[in-house]
Chain A
């Protein structure tokens, strides 16, 4: 299905947040997930379903001052 992932339209196979993270090989990373403006806590990743057109943000820490 098509979602807006980090600002870009993408087709993904995953149907849950956990599967999405695995699909991009991010399983062992410290990251935060936001869907349509709401943060999804880690303990809800497995149960949170991904739907057509959702705006998904996957963010992490980078160097900064």
Chain B
């Protein structure tokens, strides 16, 4: 991405449109190399109890050198707005900024976000001065409501978390983009570079991915593929595609065929 086409969220100027999750990587080394290959500036995390019987486990920030990252802790594990607010406050108390991804799942099988609790949590956290990025269902009206509640960006899912099904409802994502006055980040459900290009061509401002990169056979190579897909999709969107037509139209015109 160029300076000219920067993305601004919560007053912060980002040059990468890739938001990367930090879960499920095979090991810290691969994770670090993957982050580097992705070019991502925003990294997501979760907050959990420390395992007191083996404190040497996976405290994630220990493995990251001080890059110029923006940390986006999520509220996974919360089932209500109040629980999400509690987790967000704990994250802020760690001193790594005031961004938070609201993530409130009400169903263990689909992990789909609870729209009512998500809206409530967004309102409460925005009032407390957080930069709030809610993970939400791909509902254009709900995304509008979240924006009105103070969301700094909205993050509709393409498909349920970790499924790799791609964008199940491109029509809705397109509508969300059309209506939004805040950045739109497609979060969850993407599987490969083609899904990323599709998202970017729909006009979204960025994508958040974890599983399709971390669980790829080669996470570092996949991060690079996704990075290029984001760039290709963004450029294609800005360049403006041709309309689809039913029949052929010759590239060199019909006049003066030499052989006729």
**Chain A residues in the interface with B (C-beta under 8 A):** 5-7, 10, 24-26, 29-32, 34, 37, 39, 41, 57-65
A63 touches B55 (CB 8 A): no
With A41-B93, A65-B22, A65-B210 known, 9 other A-B pairs at CB within 8 A are A7-B49, A29-B50, A29-B59, A31-B59, A62-B48, A62-B58, A64-B22, A64-B23, A64-B45
Collect the chain B residues with CB atoms within 8 Å of residue A32's CB: 47, 90-91, 93-94
What is the total of A-B residue contacts with beta carbons within 8 Å?
A: 103
A65 touches B50 (CB 8 A): no
In the assembled complex, how far is the CB of residue B7 from the closest CB belonging to chain A, in whole angstroms? Answer: 19
In the bound assembly, the distance between CA atoms of A32 and B47 in angstroms comes to 10
Q: Contact string, B46-89, partner A, CB cutoff 8 A, digits 1/0?
A: 11111010010011111000000000011010000000001001
Collect the chain A residues with CB atoms within 8 Å of residue B209's CB: 65
In the bound assembly, the distance between CA atoms of A57 and B50 in angstroms comes to 9
In the assembled complex, how far is the CB of residue B107 from the closest CB belonging to chain A, in whole angstroms? Answer: 17
A61 touches B46 (CB 8 A): yes
B45 touches A62 (CB 8 A): yes
Which B residue's beta carbon lies closest to that of A57? B49
Q: Tell whether A65 pairs with B23 under 8 Å between CB atoms, given A30-B61, A32-B93, A34-B90.
A: yes
Collect the chain A residues with CB atoms within 8 Å of residue B210's CB: 64-65
8 Å CB interface, B172-193 against A: 188
B208 touches A60 (CB 8 A): no
B90 touches A63 (CB 8 A): no
Question: Which listed residue, A10, A41, A59, touches B47 by the CB 8 Å rule?
Answer: A59
Query: B105 within 8 Å of A by Cβ?
Result: no
B49 touches A63 (CB 8 A): no
B25 touches A26 (CB 8 A): no
Query: B136 within 8 Å of A by Cβ?
Result: no
List the 4 closest pairs (A to B, CB-CB), nearest first. Answer: A64-B46, A65-B21, A65-B210, A63-B23
Which B residue's beta carbon lies closest to that of A10? B52
Collect the chain A residues with CB atoms within 8 Å of residue B61's CB: 30, 61
Which B residue's beta carbon lies closest to that of A7? B49
Question: Which listed residue, B48, B89, B161, touches A65 by the CB 8 Å rule?
Answer: B161
A62 touches B46 (CB 8 A): yes
Collect the chain A residues with CB atoms within 8 Å of residue B73's CB: 61, 64
In the bound assembly, the distance between CA atoms of A42 and B124 in angstroms comes to 25
A58 touches B49 (CB 8 A): yes
In the assembled complex, how far is the CB of residue A8 from the closest CB belonging to chain B, in whole angstroms? Answer: 8
In the bound assembly, the distance between CA atoms of A14 and B86 in angstroms comes to 26
Collect the chain A residues with CB atoms within 8 Å of residue B127's CB: none
Q: List 12 A-B contacts (CB under 8 A).
A: A24-B50, A25-B55, A26-B55, A32-B90, A32-B93, A58-B52, A61-B45, A61-B47, A63-B24, A63-B45, A64-B45, A65-B188
A62 touches B60 (CB 8 A): yes
8 Å CB interface, B216-257 against A: none
Query: B211 within 8 Å of A by Cβ?
Result: yes
B74 touches A65 (CB 8 A): yes
In the assembled complex, how far is the CB of residue B257 from the closest CB belonging to chain A, in whole angstroms? Answer: 57
In the assembled complex, how far is the CB of residue B23 from the closest CB belonging to chain A, in whole angstroms? Answer: 4
